[in-house]
Amino acid sequence: MHPVIAKTFGGLSPQYYFRQFVFGLIFPALYFFVSSKGNHAMQAAMIVFLVVNTLLYPYSRFVYESIMNFIMGRNVFLTSALLMLFVKLVTMAICWSMAIFIAPVGLAYLYWRHSKEES
């Protein structure tokens, strides 16, 4: 594998990537379910958008979680489980829908971090 690809796309642990990838599948599955109720065919551009965002979602989520860990630290908040699940779903939807824009930040950081570890 090319070193740049290994340092960026291979920068997350396989367990983390798989877990986030599975959660990222919620949104294209929901889209396919809703669009299957109509009589129109899905456009190729939309399929590409769904695939790219789903593949990049783990890196987008990595950026979000890194920022939240920096801001919140190890603080614990006691709140309603339903509210927390709703907030989690909203942040997941934002990270998934904006993955094509957010993920490059995470990939650049992973490349920088793994390059720094080598030297």
User: What are the pLDDT digits (tens) for 53-95?
Assistant: 999 999 999 999 999 999 998 888 899 999 999 999 999 999 9
Query: CA 29 to CA 36: how far, in whole Å?
Result: 10
Alpha carbon 96 to chain centroid, angstroms: 5
Structural domain including 98 reads 3-118
Indicate the pTM of the whole model: 0.87
Tokens of 86: 């709703």
Give the chain's domain count. Answer: 1
pLDDT at 95: 97
CA dihedral 47, 48, 51, 55 (to 10 degrees): -170
3-state helix, strand, coil in the chain (%, to 5): 80, 0, 20
Q: How confident is the model at residue 21 (pLDDT cuts 50, 70, 90)?
A: very high
The pLDDT of residue 49: 95
